[in-house]
Structure 1
Amino acid sequence: MRIRTMTMIVAPLLLIGALGACTKSAEETANATQSGGPCKIALLLPENATPRYEAADKPYFEAEVAKKAPDCEVLYFNAANDGTKQQQQAETALTQGARALVLDSADTTAAASIVEQAKAKGVKTIAYDRTPNGPVAYEFTFNAEQVGQFQGQALVDAMTKAGVPKGAQVVMINGDTSGPEALKFKQGAHKVIDSSGYTVGAEYDTPKWSPDTATTEMSQAITKIGKDNIKGVNVANDTMAGAAINAMQQAGISSLPPVTGQDAATDGLQRILLGTQTMTIYKALKKLAVAAADAAVAVATGKPVAGTTTTVTNATGDSIPANLLTPVVVMTENLKSTVVADEFVKAADLCTADVQAACQKYGIS
């Protein structure tokens, strides 16, 4: 009788304990990457054709993680402009135990599955520089439409200063507008150019931001418009700007029209000093990478995320806490006080033999 009574008492207790264990197990499964195991943060960058990713974003991000959380390991991947490859890399990162994904999408549509897969494993995704489709937890980027407006305004100002009459034709070589940021660059530039009195005579959206494709596009524009009728070229980034300039020079255009760029790449800055490129957009990548790294460390260690100052809405209507940094126009007159002063580029790397005289002219040493 005594044994039976004890059994009746103990059994429910065991059942309650088992249910509690099941509940705890479910919670642990949902938050597996935030509890237990080594701290790992995945950094997934989109491509290496543009120098900034390997030269700036990656080292800045890794240095900040090492500073804030020495025990956290950065799992680094570059998708080489391949959305499928990036999906595979994300799967690898999750398999290796990443507690947070910092994602700069190679393909914003394909990246949606990365975000969903991470979410299913209890891992938060932080959008970096580009907005993927899907419910990311946070976004750290620059005001993309403002970038385009700054490019368009710099182009219009340069053409006006040169005395180019209204009605003159402009070539637009946009980035890969399958992504929302490139589309916003394009829209921002159009807002300025379309209301300026100048005419877009030829326009191209460049898949995968390919400089080879940009060369072909510029050659097609020269054939379409005529080399003497191109009075301005709005190009989405520095790498493609270099390609467009080379195409114009190969076509025998000796007096180049104003040409825009973006990313403050070293060769783009050199062209600005030499007078073959009008401007570039400096995005303070160190600030961006540091802010994203701090957020990733917070997510990976289960702490509150700081540094978001606004919200953005993604393609699926989700409201995302965000930090939108302000881009900076760089031209000859402020090159020293911006990218050189911030040590974004070293004077020794910038002032090669063929640029030395121009560096001295603008006090860069």
Structure 2
Amino acid sequence: MTIILVKFCLLFIFNLSIYPTKILALPGDLVVMLLPENVNPRWENQDAYYFVESMKVIAPEVDVEIFNANNDISVQQRQAEQAITRGAKVLVVIAIDGNAASLIADMAKEENVPVIAYDRMIQSEHTSFWVQASMFNTGVSQAQHIIDNTKLGDTIVLLKGSPTDPNAVEIFNGQLSVIKPYFDRKERINGYESWVQGWDPIIARRAMDQALTKLNNNVQGVLSSNDGNANAAIASLIEQGMAGKIPVTGLDCTVSALQLMILGYQTQSVWRPFDKMAKVTAEVVKLLLEDGDFSSYIKGTVSNKLNANIPFIPVEHNTIVGLSGVVNVIAKDRLITRDKICKGDVAKTPFCIDN
């Protein structure tokens, strides 16, 4: 009897070596998403919402926690450290500052915690993945819209993003690839150019006011890198009686931006499927927790400032122009509804009355 039992145990162990037990995400596994700020409503209202929703479907046994650093780099680093100390298995980080966030990725690496750079690149060789649309092409589409809607000799104001956000630099590089030749040939005039620290609309408004003062309102286009900057610029233009008379670009298709597009004040924005970004991130998180194969998600690599080749998970982006563009966003993003858009003065427009 004893001999038979030993043989059975040996056979069982042998079979386990041939058919290893699949690693599964476990109840109580912790995943933490770190948001950069609440100046842009998309982080909490769309990205975090969709990520939590996707994780509930894809890995319902996993605990997901969201923290917002409110544009404080030290707070974001402390949130990451606390998450790792509490046993987080994966960090999804939207960096305030791509350089400073390298400390997060390096610290996580020491504890074998993968770090996904969501939306904004983290300048560390230990960044596990980057999930984003092409920010360069986003800038290209913004600048092309300005070129297409201005004429020879027109003066342009450039409201760039935050200098600490690597996306802002990529957007600007994309813009320059289109508009710089026009500046060089004097076919368009670079009247005023400013970075907007922290993507802060207050800073953007101040910059736009200064531009209009310097140029004596001789401005025929605003090349704005996101919707927050655009909103601030339009507030300045309204004050000067210029709103709706010149093209203004943006990025993110916020409710406020879509309202301004209906009113004719903002003429362009760029939409990305935040639900798809969040879903693919959640899928990769689950694979990381289960030591699964995620190679099918990787579509090449992107070199960051350290020349580290970071695996890239791309998402689409769409240029949104005019009322048809607003309709397109409403159709594609279920968190953007007519009820949310059709408020205040916008509710009185034909777009809201007739639809």
Q: Which category describes the TM-score, using the shorter chain as reference length?
A: 0.7 to 0.9
1:175 maps to a residue whose letter is: G
Q: What percentage of residue pairs aligned between the two structures are identical?
A: 30
Query: CA–CA distance in 1 between the matches of 2:349 and 2:37?
Result: 31
Counterpart residue number, 1:158 = 149
2:341 maps to a residue whose letter is: L
Counterpart residue number, 2:57 = 67
Equivalent residue runs for 1:219-298 within 5 Å: 219-227=209-217, 229-253=218-242, 256-298=245-287
1:108 maps to a residue whose letter is: G
Post-superposition shift, 1:36? 7.4
Equivalent residue runs for 1:31-42 within 5 Å: 38-42=28-32
Equivalent residue runs for 1:57-96 within 5 Å: 57-96=47-86
2:131 maps to a residue whose letter is: F
Counterpart residue number, 1:355 = 346
Counterpart residue number, 2:135 = 144
Contact 1:105 1:131 in 2 (8 A): yes
Query: CA–CA distance in 1 between the matches of 2:29 and 2:58?
Result: 12
SS in 2 for 1:195: helix
2:351 maps to a residue whose letter is: Q
Post-superposition shift, 1:297? 1.7
Contact 2:131 2:312 in 1 (8 A): yes
| Unaligned runs of at least 5 residues, structure 1 | 1-33
Cα distance per residue 1:311-341 (max 9 Å; x no partner): 1111111112111223111112432552111
Cα distance per residue 1:13-57 (max 9 Å; x no partner): xxxxxxxxxxxxxxxxxxxxx997821111011111001001100
TM-score normalised according to structure 2 size: 0.87
Note closer, same or farther for the CA distance 1:302–1:350 as it changes in structure 2 (3 Å cut). Answer: same
Contact 1:177 1:183 in 2 (8 A): yes
Query: CA–CA distance in 1 between the matches of 2:130 and 2:144?
Result: 27
Cα distance per residue 1:266-303 (max 9 Å; x no partner): 01001001101111110111111111111112112322
Cα distance per residue 1:140-173 (max 9 Å; x no partner): 11101001001111111122xxxx3x12110000
Note closer, same or farther for the CA distance 1:123–1:255 as it changes in structure 2 (3 Å cut). Answer: closer
Post-superposition shift, 1:355? 1.5
Paired residues, number? 326
Counterpart residue number, 2:318 = 328
Note closer, same or farther for the CA distance 1:362–1:307 as it changes in structure 2 (3 Å cut). Answer: farther
Post-superposition shift, 1:359? 5.3
Query: CA–CA distance in 2 between the matches of 1:254 and 1:57?
Result: 30
Counterpart residue number, 1:133 = 123
Query: CA–CA distance in 2 between the matches of 1:181 and 1:318?
Result: 17
Contact 1:41 1:297 in 2 (8 A): no
Query: CA–CA distance in 1 between the matches of 2:290 and 2:114?
Result: 12
SS in 2 for 1:326: coil
* Residue 215 (structure 1) aligned to one of 195, 202, 205: 205
Counterpart residue number, 1:319 = 309
RMSD: 2.0
1:355 maps to a residue whose letter is: V
2:165 maps to a residue whose letter is: G
SS in 2 for 1:297: helix
Q: Does 1:104 align with 2:94?
A: yes
Q: Does 1:172 align with 2:158?
A: yes
Query: CA–CA distance in 1 between the matches of 2:56 and 2:43?
Result: 18
Query: CA–CA distance in 1 between the matches of 2:189 and 2:235?
Result: 23
| Unaligned runs of at least 5 residues, structure 2 | 1-23
Post-superposition shift, 1:344? 4.2
Counterpart residue number, 1:184 = 170
Contact 1:40 1:300 in 2 (8 A): no
Note closer, same or farther for the CA distance 1:136–1:205 as it changes in structure 2 (3 Å cut). Answer: same
Query: CA–CA distance in 1 between the matches of 2:62 and 2:243?
Result: 53
Query: CA–CA distance in 2 between the matches of 1:139 and 1:179?
Result: 14
Query: CA–CA distance in 1 between the matches of 2:78 and 2:344?
Result: 43
2:239 maps to a residue whose letter is: Q
Contact 1:311 1:320 in 2 (8 A): yes
SS in 2 for 1:304: coil
Note closer, same or farther for the CA distance 1:254–1:263 as it changes in structure 2 (3 Å cut). Answer: closer
Note closer, same or farther for the CA distance 1:284–1:255 as it changes in structure 2 (3 Å cut). Answer: closer
Query: CA–CA distance in 1 between the matches of 2:226 and 2:76?
Result: 22
